[in-house]
Amino acid sequence: MDVAETHLGGGGYLGVSLEEVAKEVGVSKPALYYHFPQGKEQLFLAIAHRALEHHREGLERAIADHDSGAAKLRAVARWLMSESNHDHPMDELRDLTRFVSEQHQVKLAEGFFGSLYGPIHRAISSAVESGEFSENSPELLTWAFLSLLSGMLQVNNIPAGPSLPEATRTAEGMADRTVDLFLNGVLP
């Protein structure tokens, strides 16, 4: 699975050859099919679910160490920003839904909800219920936070321009600034 994940990051789903993966692992292609009888789709679904589980566990660990909603969101952003630097082909895994059956698309969507949306939604819901965050729809806030963070993950590794403060030139600094923007907005 690690070898196939590396190939996925290099060439996307369509660029991966099971024959090349089997060769690199040191097994025959039929041996690979023994473990993944449905072939490429089954192999990459297993990789996607493994990645989603990794994200769920990482987010839950990060959130568990904090009491306030703001601190939990900061921990989420820091964890996700640091993970984006570990060569996990998350964009390619997200793109996988274009190539799998509808049944597997549903399973991947459920995995996303449980692994990424779920922990963040629980943290935001708790902060809204306690009055720490203003009375808003936790669902809307969760999607807004994920959207903002997703965009910032895309620019996390772009060289900083001269107007970008030094404190935001690290993954941790970018995470903190993103949470500040979400919580406080851009108005003075």
**Which residue stretches of the chain are H helix?**
2-11, 18-25, 29-35, 40-64, 69-83, 90-95, 102-112, 118-130, 138-155, 171-184
Q: pLDDT at residue 6 above 60?
A: yes
Whether residue 119 is predicted with pLDDT greater than 90 in this model: the reply is yes
Q: Give yes or no for residue 157 having a pLDDT over 60.
A: no
Q: How is the chain split into domains, by residue range?
A: 41-184
Q: What's the one-letter identity of residue 4?
A: A
What Å distances lie between residue 9 and 16, 104, 107, 165, CA to CA?
A: 9, 20, 22, 31
Mapped onto helix, strand or coil, the DSSP state of residue 81 is: helix
What superfamily does domain 41-184 belong to in CATH? Tetracycline Repressor, domain 2 (1.10.357.10)
Closest Cα partner for 41 from 117, 138, 108? 108
- pLDDT recorded at residue 85: 55
Instruction: Identify the CA nearest to 1 among candidates 42, 52, 58.
Output: 42
CB 85 within 8 Å of CB 174: no
Q: Is 169:160 a contact under the CB 8 Å cutoff? A: yes
Please state which of the ranges 16-20, 61-65, 114-118, 167-171 shows the lowest mean pLDDT: 167-171
pTM for the model? 0.80
From the number of C-beta atoms within 10 Å of its C-beta (0-12, 13-18, 19+), residue 98 rates as exposed
How far is it, in rounded angstroms, from Cα 134 to Cα 124? Answer: 10
Q: Average of pLDDT values for 92-101?
A: 76
Rounded percentage of the chain residues whose pLDDT exceeds 90: 35
Q: How far apart are CA 125 and CA 74, in angstroms?
A: 15
Residue at token pair 């923007």? 181
